[in-house]
Structure 1
Amino acid sequence: MSSLKTLIFFATPEHPCSYLTDRQATTMFVDPRAQVDRNLYTQLTELGFRRSGSHYYRPHCRGCNACIPVRIPVERFQPDRSQRRVRRDNRDLTLIQTPVRFDEEIYDLYERYVVERHHDGDMYPPSREQFTSFLIEGSIDGFFLEMRREGRLIAVAVVDVLDTGLSAIYTFFEPGEEKRSLGTFAILWQVQEAHRRGLPHLYLGYWIRQCRKMNYKTRFRPLEQLMNGHWTELVTSDGMLHNSPA
């Protein structure tokens, strides 16, 4: 089994940034031949890496540190009024944890979601192969959280289990159910589930201050960010965000 000391890393050539149109990006990948178990995956996550299928990566851009890893300390999290309303609005849902696997019903929902909401993104056009390589391959201790209303599947959250928390990999939902705020609901559930399991954190991936699509992450408070190798708290002051020791 591989360890941090034996891992080999590769960097991609510069390519257009997916989030900031005026930037060039470079991505650092763990050697895909490495054998990554849950413990090593946890260590990589603590260092700011994310998993996409069988690949573990983090931004490694020259002169740019816009992509900031963030996590919720679940013991101190307190939902605000809007988040409490989202919980109430979704009390009619049946929530089921199921194994990570290919399923036509789940894929059909994913396909509708990508076509409707991300037709201009990297995941378009969706395919069964892309779904499998993105959300199924490489899963170590993961699960799908299926959200159903009267038996009908309306959302799926893909979750990984680490030694120090849960990692929110991806959530997709029925395009006609936007009013339910199912992405927010999925995070709220994962916070509760991490607390139930005695795990201290929920990892949310990267936050980019200049990217509107990521603003929702700062609505979960307190929120911690990885800066200069240390996790520090993201603090709101007069509507601005700055760093404070966690």
Structure 2
Amino acid sequence: MMNQPINSPQFFLTAPSDCPYLEGQSERKVFTHLVGEKASELNDLLTQGGFRRSQNIAYRPACETCRACVSVRILASEFKPTRSMRRNISVNADLIAAEYHAEPSSEQFKLFRRYLDSRHQSGGMADMSIGDYAMMVEDSHVDSRIIEYRVRTEGDGLQEHPAGELLAVALTDRMSDGLSMVYSFYNPDVTARSLGTYMILDHIERARMLGLPHVYMGYWVKGSRKMEYKTRFQPQEHLMAQGWQRYAP
């Protein structure tokens, strides 16, 4: 572990590796450690500057010949759902979301493995063990939360922890100006619910209720099919050379 003051973090550069989004491209990342008493403040500043968090590391692309990765944040206070999004909210009205401190569980991991085995068999997370998952959730020096989405059952309003079937999970950072969706996963067999979309809509509403202006969505890559969904949530801003700019699809 490295303990760094917020005003002088040390940054490092990874070696080149294959790009997971654009075929034939390679990627490099610049990163620093998020540890110590100022970790949350540093995470805020770096996220606003286009970084993402993974455990106690903040990173952003630093590719030599490509600038395709663009940081995206939704303007929560201005957001208005489309007709299909309102239908999604209605379809999932029987779900209950419960927010906890970032603590892993075997039930979460079982759903996580089911999601990876269905959607990301060849990705960088494909071989993650339960210990790796626990580190992903717990190894954080910032204000991180786990949000569990379950089927509502009788008596949920009377007990501390809802008991219905776990369908989706989001690992989320609460920052001074918004919520950052670090990682989310869901039951891949329940396609009619469009749970990925629902979790984003839920985060927008959570940010609005907390008086936070933004929901940070990570990176969008034009031309990458797996990233197309991110531009559906309007209005939003993209981090360009001139700073955060409103995106016009």
Give me the TM-score of the superposition, normalised by structure 2: 0.90
Shift of 1:121: 0.9
Q: 1:70 corresponds to which residue?
A: 72
Give the stretch that moved more between structures: 187-196 or 131-140: 131-140
**8 Å contact kept, 2:70–2:221:** yes
Q: 1:140 corresponds to which residue?
A: 142
Identify unmatched segments of 5+ residues in structure 1: 237-246
Give me the TM-score of the superposition, normalised by structure 1: 0.91
Give the stretch that moved more between structures: 169-178 or 61-70: 169-178
Give the stretch that moved more between structures: 208-217 or 149-158: 149-158
Q: 1:23 corresponds to which residue?
A: 25
Q: Which amino acid aligns with 1:20?
A: L
**Mapped partners of 1:122, 1:158: distance in 2:** 18
**8 Å contact kept, 1:7–1:34:** no
Q: Which amino acid aligns with 2:132?
A: Q
**8 Å contact kept, 2:4–2:35:** no
**Mapped partners of 1:36, 1:130: distance in 2:** 25
**Mapped partners of 1:33, 1:91: distance in 2:** 39
Alpha carbons of 1:211 and 1:69: their partners in 2 closer, same or farther (altered >3 Å)? same
Cα-to-partner distance string for 1:56-112 (whole Å, 9 max, x where unaligned): 100000021100000001111111111111100000111111221121111111111
Identify the match of residue 211 of structure 1 among 220, 224, 235: 224
Q: 2:159 corresponds to which residue?
A: none
Tell me, what secondary structure is at the counterpart of 1:79?
coil
Alignment of 1:150-229 (within 5 A): 150=153, 151-229=164-242
Give the stretch that moved more between structures: 14-23 or 33-42: 33-42
Tell me, what secondary structure is at the counterpart of 1:175?
coil
Q: Which amino acid aligns with 1:173?
A: Y
**8 Å contact kept, 1:47–1:229:** no
Q: 1:118 corresponds to which residue?
A: 120
Shift of 1:5: 3.2
Identify the match of residue 97 of structure 2 among 79, 95, 98: 95
Q: Could you list the structure 1 runs, at least 4 aligned residues long, displaced by more than 3 angstroms after superposition.
A: 1-5, 31-36
**Mapped partners of 1:75, 1:191: distance in 2:** 8
Identify unmatched segments of 5+ residues in structure 2: 154-163
Give the stretch that moved more between structures: 33-42 or 6-15: 33-42
Shift of 1:138: 1.4
- The Cα RMSD (Å) is 1.6
Identity across matched positions, percent: 37
Q: How many residues align?
A: 236
**8 Å contact kept, 2:61–2:69:** yes
**Mapped partners of 2:34, 2:227: distance in 1:** 28
